[in-house]
Amino acid sequence: QKEVEQNSGPLSVPEGAIASLNCTYSDRVSQSFFWYRQYSGKSPELIMSIYSNGDKEDGRFTAQLNKASQYVSLLIRDSQPSDSATYLCAVGFGGGADGLTFGKGTHLIIQP
């Protein structure tokens, strides 16, 4: 069974610091990895996608993938109060037709 695990939090980080969010997945044939941000009462918004081992940077966000350890992480630099949200890790298992499997999300709080 495909599983994606995240610490539910809340994770509290001071403003301006680095927030580190982690995710592990169970299926070794996973091919695509995503981070979504979800504000309370809103639908999830895609913020990062990563497909190969290593780091991918986009502005203040860096996604890290280690397929050998089945581990994905998201770093948010210079955290802002507007980054306070639930962050969902999602994994695709190839082909795309059967959608993505999501973790339950980590609730991030940026303290001013």
Partner 1 sequence: SQTIHQWPATLVQPVGSPLSLECTVEGTSNPNLYWYRQAAGRGLQLLFYSVGIGQISSEVPQNLSASRPQDRQFILSSKKLLLSDSGFYLCAWITDPRGELFFGEGSRLTVL
Residues that bind partner 1 (CB under 8 A): 31-32, 34, 41-46, 49, 51, 88, 90, 92, 96-105
Phi, psi angle pair for 43, to nearest 5°:
-85, 155
Rank residues 4 and 79 by Cβ distance to partner 1 and give the closer one: 4
Least CB distance to partner 1 at residue 8 (A): 9
What is the helix (H) or strand (E) element at residue 37, kind and residue range? strand 32-38
Rank residues 13 and 89 by Cβ distance to partner 1 and give the closer one: 89
10 upstream amide cis, omega within 30 of 0:
yes
Rank residues 33 and 110 by Cβ distance to partner 1 and give the closer one: 33
> How far is Cα of residue 23 from the mean position of the Cα atoms in its chain?
7
